[in-house]
């Protein structure tokens, strides 16, 4: 069971063991002229007037008096080095062991007895960064005129962590889950910590009485707790599986789109933010307490806007298309969420052009180009309309899914067919004021309505059917991939029975355009041809290409 303990109690728990699967010591590695260690030491110094200051939790395995560090190696090693600088050797003697990096183990233990000469010239990465860490800690303490004894007392007694022991058999999987994205999360976690520290900062006046100072400290802790709960609430929302699937955050920090959108909206220079870094965010938004409070409130309002967009059926459906198809999601979000932009497009307008692979600039600007046909100059046509027409032409072909001989086929047609069938299902959901489930994007299937295994049973030789085939858009519907196996080579009527058999679990049953197809009483060459013509006509009308 997890317990809240101070750092002195933590270091008295036993011998800390760095297991073989842990990476080397990295906190003194600089990125953009700063390091995690510098931030850590600054945070401790800035918080040294508080009665309680929390650092992140540690996850450990307890075994025979050893504390195996599953998560918390960098913090524990940094505290070890800090105690060495503060000459608190009693607390750290025989307290840190590297399982397989013998030189690192010897160097750290030799540090305690002030006899490092034998190991100073060992050319290992760990020792280089150990030395760098010691230098940085000394500089920080000197820069801040830190009283070493008072600071040591604060770190030992008033800095707390959550101590979380787990069973040994869960160690590896826990390590992977906790550390898999840690490097990618670093900047966002630094932003959180800096915002919380600066936003809740109150200058404590030395002329105040002890009671008044305690009151201010209580206020600081209360404010910081409130802000932390806000942040954690946002993080919980962004970590929801449905939200992560919808925004497709991938390996990015869950709150990436909140932070990058806020940065792009509020960045006060003409430069373009190409990526989100702690340095750039801190410089622009968290340089002082007043700015931090203002921008924390700005983030709160933007978070509310994101949640509103997600929960409203219409914005959910069309923003979902944008998030899945846009060539620049960051620019699209900035366009719609920046209140200073005079938006001439609705989410639906943007989405429909993004679906046919128009770029962000092509969508928001009415770019045109001259089209020459039959030696005469045609009228100016918007580039995005050209892309829409090209996409519709692709699925207007006789063979969209494959060729009669199942030869290698241009998957671009299948992708466009999927996108248009997706659009038609989304439009039906929107009419019913219903949010569409975008998990289908990575779990998709284009299903032949009339089974391709029975293609020889149909005859498309008649002139009325000559642009149709069993592989044309008219004989395809969208399904969730998990449902594809339920259909297989079944006949249309067998598929229809399966589709409407509510006793069977079938996720695709809520796809309304697909439902309309299986509502037919039969499925012949004529149905396939008419369905194809209906789809093409609907798309031409939607994109105003008639």
Instruction: Report the pLDDT value the prediction gives residue 378, as an integer from 0 to 100.
Output: 40
User: What pLDDT score does 104 carry?
Assistant: 76
Q: Place 488 in a pLDDT band, splitting at 50, 70 and 90.
A: confident
Share of the chain above pLDDT 90, in %: 36
pLDDT tens, position by position, 401-440: 876 665 545 678 899 999 999 999 999 999 999 999 999 9
- The confidence band for 489, taking pLDDT boundaries of 50, 70 and 90, is confident
Question: Is the pLDDT at 387 greater than 80, yes or no?
Answer: yes
With bands split at pLDDT 50, 70 and 90, how would you rate the model's confidence at 348? very high
Residue 459, pLDDT above cutoff 70: yes
Strand 372-373 and strand 376-377: the pairing is antiparallel
* 475 within 8 A of 450, measured Cβ to Cβ: yes
Structure token pair of residue 16: 């800390």
Predicted confidence at residue 118, as pLDDT, reads 47
Q: What is the pLDDT of residue 123?
A: 47
pLDDT at 316: 97
pLDDT band at 374 (very low <50, low <70, confident <90, very high): very low
CA–CA dist 97, 68 (Å, integer): 10
Which of the residue ranges 42-51, 364-373, 481-490, 532-541 would you say has the lowest mean pLDDT?
A: 364-373
pLDDT tops 60 at residue 462: yes
Nearest by Cα to 59 from 70, 48, 68: 70
Which structure tokens are listed for 534? 């209906």
Residue 457 has a pLDDT of: 85
Q: Is the pLDDT of residue 74 over 70?
A: yes
Q: 451-455, 486-490, 514-518: which has the minimum mean pLDDT?
A: 486-490
Better pLDDT: 144 or 222: 144
- pLDDT band at 318, cuts 50/70/90? very high
**Pairwise pLDDT comparison (80 vs 2), residue with the higher score:** 80
- H helices of 15-147, in order, are 36-46, 73-85, 89-92, 102-112, 125-143
Its pTM stands at 0.64
Q: Beta 159-165 vs 53-54: how paired, if at all?
A: parallel
pLDDT of 211 reads 57
> What is the pLDDT, as a whole number, of residue 190?
60
Q: Please, what is the Cα angle at 520 between 516 and 526, to 5 degrees?
A: 110
pLDDT tens digits for range 257-268: 998 899 888 875
Find, among 227, 209, 389, 388, the residue nearest to 293 by Cα. Answer: 227
In angstroms, rounded to a whole number, what is the distance separating the alpha carbons of residues 253 and 255?
Answer: 5
Q: Is 32 left (phi over 0), alpha (psi -120 to 50) or beta?
A: left
Q: Look up tokens 């044309």; give the residue.
A: 472
Binned at pLDDT 50, 70 and 90, residue 366 comes out as low
pLDDT at 368 over 50: no
Average pLDDT, the chain: 81
DSSP assignment letter at 453: G
Whole-angstrom Cα distance, residue 435 to residue 429?
7
- Phi, psi angle pair for 305, to nearest 5°: -65, -45
Residues 371, 378: contact at Cβ < 8 Å? yes
Read off the pLDDT of each residue in 169-197 and give the average, rounded to a whole number: 59
Mean pLDDT of 71-87: 91
Asked if residue 222 has pLDDT above 70, the reply is no
More confident residue, 59 or 528: 528
Comparing 8-17, 159-168, 213-222, which segment has the lowest mean pLDDT? Answer: 213-222
Query: What is the arithmetic mean of pLDDT over 98-113?
Result: 71
- Whether the predicted pLDDT of 210 surpasses 60: no
Query: With pLDDT > 70 as the criterion, what percentage of the chain qualifies?
Result: 78
For residue 493, what are its two tokens? 């009527």
Measured CA to CA in angstroms, residue 377 lies from 336, 362, 380, 388 at distances of: 36, 22, 9, 21
pLDDT of residue 170: 78
Looking at residue 449, the DSSP 8-state letter turns out to be: S
- Residue 224 in this model has a pLDDT that exceeds 70: no
- pLDDT at position 449 is 92
Residue 449 contacts by C-beta under 8 Å, 6 or more apart in sequence? 475, 476, 477, 492, 495, 517, 518, 523, 528
Q: Report the DSSP beta bridge partners of residue 4.
A: 162
């Amino acid at each position: 069971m997890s317990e809240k303990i101070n750092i002195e109690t933590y270091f008295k728990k036993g011998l800390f063991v760095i297991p073989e699967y842990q990476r080397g010591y990295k906190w003194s590695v600089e990125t953009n002229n700063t390091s995690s260690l510098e931030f850590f030491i600054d945070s401790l110094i800035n918080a040294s007037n508080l009665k309680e200051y929390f650092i992140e939790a540690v996850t450990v395995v307890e075994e025979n008096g050893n504390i195996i560090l599953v998560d918390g190696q960098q913090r524990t090693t940094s505290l070890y080095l800090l105690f060495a600088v503060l000459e608190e050797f009693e607390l750290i003697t025989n307290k840190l062991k590297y399982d397989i990096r013998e030189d690192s183990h010897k160097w750290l233990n030799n540090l305690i007895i002030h006899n490092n000469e034998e190991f100073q010239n060992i050319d290992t990465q760990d020792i280089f960064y150990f030395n760098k860490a010691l230098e940085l800690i000394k500089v920080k303490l000197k820069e801040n005129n830190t009283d070493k004894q008072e600071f040591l007392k604060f770190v030992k007694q008033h800095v707390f962590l959550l101590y979380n022991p787990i069973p040994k058999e869960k160690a590896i999987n826990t390590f992977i889950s906790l550390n898999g994205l840690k490097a990618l999360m670093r900047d966002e976690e630094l932003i959180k910590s800096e915002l919380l520290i600066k936003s809740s900062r109150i200058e404590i006046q030395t002329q105040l009485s002890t009671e008044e100072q305690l009151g201010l400290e209580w206020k600081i802790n209360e404010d910081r707790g409130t802000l932390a709960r806000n942040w954690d609430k946002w993080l919980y929302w962004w970590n929801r599986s449905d939200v992560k699937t919808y925004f497709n955050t991938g390996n990015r920090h869950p709150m990436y789109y909140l932070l990058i959108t806020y940065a792009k909206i509020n960045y006060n220079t003409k430069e373009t933010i190409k990526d989100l870094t702690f340095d750039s965010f801190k410089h622009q938004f968290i340089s002082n307490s007043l700015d931090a409070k203002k921008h924390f409130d700005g983030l709160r309002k933007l978070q509310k806007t994101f949640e509103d967009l997600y929960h409203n059926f219409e914005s959910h459906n069309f923003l979902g298309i944008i998030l899945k198809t846009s060539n620049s999601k960051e620019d699209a979000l900035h366009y719609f969420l920046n209140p200073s932009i005079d938006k001439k497009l609705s989410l639906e307008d943007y989405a429909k052009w993004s679906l046919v692979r128009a770029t962000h600039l092509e969508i928001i600007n009415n770019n045109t180009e001259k089209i020459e046909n039959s030696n005469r100059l045609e009228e100016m046509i918007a580039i995005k309309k050209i892309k829409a027409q090209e996409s519709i032409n692709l699925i207007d072909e006789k063979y969209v899914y494959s060729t009669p001989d199942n030869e290698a086929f241009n998957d671009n047609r299948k992708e466009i067919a999927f996108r248009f069938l997706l659009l038609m299902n989304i439009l039906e959901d929107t009419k019913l004021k219903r949010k569409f489930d975008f998990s289908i994007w990575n779990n998709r299937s284009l299903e032949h309505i009339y089974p391709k295994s029975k293609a020889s049973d149909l005859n498309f030789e008649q002139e009325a059917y000559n642009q149709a085939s069993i592989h044309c858009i008219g004989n395809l519907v969208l399904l969730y991939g998990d449902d594809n196996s339920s259909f297989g080579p079944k006949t249309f009527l067998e598929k229809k029975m399966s589709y409407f058999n509510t006793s069977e679990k079938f996720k695709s049953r809520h796809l309304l355009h697909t439902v309309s197809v299986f509502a037919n009483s039969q499925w012949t060459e004529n149905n396939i041809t008419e369905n194809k013509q209906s789809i093409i006509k609907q798309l031409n009308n939607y994109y105003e290409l008639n």
